[in-house]
Amino acid sequence: HRWLHEKRVAEADNLVLYVLNQCKKGDEGGLVDLGLVAQQYCFNVTRKLIFNRRYLREGKADGGPGFEEEEYIDAIFAFVIHLYSFCISGYLPFLRGLGLEGHEIIMEDAT
């Protein structure tokens, strides 16, 4: 849709600037974590469309995500990964207290 195009392009420009700043950094030898970049782009576009903000908190000076943002995205991915995972205690509730596979603890930590 054209009315969302400007926000997506603005986030793509921010992404390119962030990757450029990462490449120019001398301390890491210009390494860029593409998994982190792809995750950040997806979530930043979503936040931009919903909240009209790039970050919920302050980002880093190089245009990257802040510590809180990285924790937030890691928690969302942990939640999504374990949301529909099979756990025997889901079918046999009396086993729930044993925490056999640790899914409940992971879900509590993610939320």
Read off the pLDDT of residues 6-18 as tens digits, 9 standing for 90 and up: 888 888 888 888 8
pLDDT value of position 62: 66
10 Å Cβ neighbour count for 25? 12
Radius of gyration of the chain (CA): 18
Looking at the fold, whether 1 and 50 belong to one and the same domain comes out as yes
CA within 13 Å, CB half, 108: 5
| Domain boundaries, position 85 | 67-111
Looking at the fold, whether 76 and 104 belong to one and the same domain comes out as yes
Q: What is the pTM of this model?
A: 0.64
- Residue 37: CB partners within 8 Å, gap ≥ 6? 15, 18, 19
For residues 101 and 7, the model is more confident at 7
Q: How many domains does the chain divide into? A: 2
